[in-house]
Amino acid sequence: MTHRGEDGPGRPDRARRAVFGEAAEEYDAARPGYPAQLCADVLEFARHGAEGRVEALEVGAGTGKATLAFAALGVSVTAIEPDPRMAAVLARHHADRPGITVHPGEFETWDAAGRRFDLLFSAQAWHWVDPEVRWSRARSVLRPGGALALFWNDWYITDEPLRRELVAVHDRFLPERPRHSILDEHPSESVRGEHSWVTAELSADPGFTDLGHHAYSTTHERSATGIAALLTSLSFYRVQPEDTRRRLLAEVARTVDAHGGRVDLMTTTALFLARTRS
């Protein structure tokens, strides 16, 4: 199943992945973080069999939304980020915070120098990792019994009339767009199906056990400018011709302004857990 708004579980489009760095500061400002309860649950799962401070490897750290959250809980984080512009923003964020090391580069080719970690986590990024090696690479850098935590945010507009109007706007400008949660009806059940490929691939890999799934819901409000900024941070919008993107986002802002100038977003975060076999 395709991961909405980005590339799916198949071979990632590296050129499309690189567009995030073109607007690293805007990405950092627009993207929300992750629930505190999620971080606490991941850490509890990772502490099983760990001695002392949890040593974590983060894949696709971006500008550090998850990095900083786990470091604040006392986790020692080695963060890998393939785009040097995103890594530079992360490096600035953690300049005065201990316990974070940033390595520009790709997880697929990163040399762990024999290190084994208690936890590997990836926020909003695992679908970009080459599917031919992502699970074997994860096993190779985790200690026996080490924890794997993969999570994604999906955003839903709670005002149904506004959502329908924004869908119509997108239909005019981008009729061939991929699906993304921000234009979908809010699901009545768990969003596990949005990322069902994770469970399917983990279940097929005999090197992992103790598979689990959790969902978290939060709400926040966005202005017309804020919702446009969030859309701009998504790869599909980044790769559109500048004029198309500009006109689309201007119409999005106009539509939101006509509905009072604010958008209530329900953020649903899907977390997938697994453990390497001891």
Q: What is the pLDDT of residues 11-60, one digit of tens each?
A: 555 544 445 545 577 778 888 899 999 999 999 999 987 778 999 999 99
**% the chain with pLDDT above 90:** 67
Distance CA 72, CA 16 (A): 31
The predicted-structure confidence for 52-86, as pLDDT tens digits, reads as follows 899 999 999 999 999 999 999 999 999 999 998 98
Assess contact for 68 and 94: CB atoms under 8 A. Answer: yes
Q: What are phi and psi of 77, to 5 degrees?
A: -115, 125
Region 229-252: mean pLDDT is 89
Distance CA 128, CA 126 (A): 5
Instruction: Assign 7 a pLDDT band (cuts: 50, 70, 90).
Output: very low
Q: Which position has the higher pLDDT, 41 or 98?
A: 41
- Predicted local confidence at residue 22, as pLDDT: 55
Return the SS3 of 21. helix
- Predicted local confidence at residue 50, as pLDDT: 77
Residue 9 pLDDT greater than 70, yes or no: no
Distance CA 32, CA 9 (A): 23
Angle of CA points 218, 38, 238, to nearest 5°: 65
This prediction has a pTM of 0.88
Q: What is the SS3 string spanning 213-259?
A: EEEEEEEEEEEHHHHHHHHHCCHHHHCCCHHHHHHHHHHHHHHHHHC
Residue whose entry in the numeric block shows the structure tokens 């980044």: 238
